Amino acid sequence: MRYVIPGGTGQVGAILTRGLRAAGHEVLVIGRSVADPALRWDGRTVGPWMDALDGADVVVSLAGRSVDCRYGWENLELMMRSRVEAALAVGQAIAQVPRPPGVWLQASTASIYPHTLTDTFDESASIGPRGDGAPGYWSYSVSIARAWELAQQACPTPHTRKVAMRLGFTMSPGPGGIFDVLLWLARTGLGGPFRSGRQSVSWLGDRDLVRAVEHLAVDGTLEGPVNLTAPEPIPNAELMAGVREAAGVPFGLPILPGMDRAGAWLLDTDVELMQKSRRVVPRRLLEAGFTFVQHDWRSTAADLVTRADGRRVAVPMDRLSRSRGPCESRAMH
């Protein structure tokens, strides 16, 4: 099949590009920094890049500023605007090409569900506020996710099936992603639980990401929101224990209140990414017959460490020296 990936130059796009090409598919990546001028775009407007969509089988839109940054109002507004504008541009391009693609897979996020330590959410759950006990600004992440999906829904594409992929944390062995940071923390002795460690983590292995996208591309029964997470969310304490075990590190200091805020500031990110509890399950994928090959976290973590380059993860010093400017395009979640 022919896949076109707008905004595919980040970590998730790189995983999909490698995996889909290895499976024999043709993949074209559209972005600001791609080598082919015909595939470059500004992330906001329709241009010559739209020709790549003509006759394509699948469009996988990942465009939008990363959530992996400090959540000041300027960055939050940039996240909102970049996602909505990119989705609308992709929709306009699909509507204009003579042979529109059969399916449009639009990135969304499991953060659309509220913070909770007890409830579990599938696609039938209503989208509520930020959740009990969560800081007020966390509600803006939910608003961003809702606006992202509504932008896709608003685009008239009668010949193209639309799916909103509500992605959990994508775990891969490459540099720059969430697992890269978790493994670095474990190997520096800071691989204990974040605060209480009770908050749930909804995650997705890199191999299952590629396989799920292939499934969504051909299963005509699936449209609208679909959760892309492993079948069982796990507590943060169990997540970090799996990373330590895979890395051969027997002990990790817990990240206590205050330490998490200081660490987030140094790494140019926000505490919401690890403190928000996401208990999300992929009901629709499972009902559609999809089987996960990365469903157990400890075995997945061991595989990820084995596949990491030289069993080493470089200290992310580029983050420590990063300014407070607008967040860059890093790993999505």
Mean pLDDT in order along the chain per 10 residues (333 residues): 96 96 98 93 94 98 77 76 94 97 96 88 79 66 89 96 97 91 93 91 97 98 98 96 96 82 62 78 98 97 87 44 39 41
Q: What angle do CA 102, 332, 209 make, to 5 degrees?
A: 50
Q: What pLDDT sits at residue 131?
A: 61
Backbone angles phi, psi at 182, to 5 degrees: -60, -40
Taking the domains of the chain in order of start, what are their residue ranges? 2-320
Q: What pLDDT sits at residue 160?
A: 98
Q: What pLDDT sits at residue 275?
A: 76
Residues 6+ apart with CB under 8 A from 283: 122, 123, 124, 227
CATH 3.90.45.10 fits 2-320, yes or no: no
Strand-pair category, 161-167 with 200-201: unpaired
Q: What pLDDT sits at residue 69?
A: 62
Q: What pLDDT sits at residue 326?
A: 40
Nearest to 63 by CA among 46, 39, 74, 79: 79
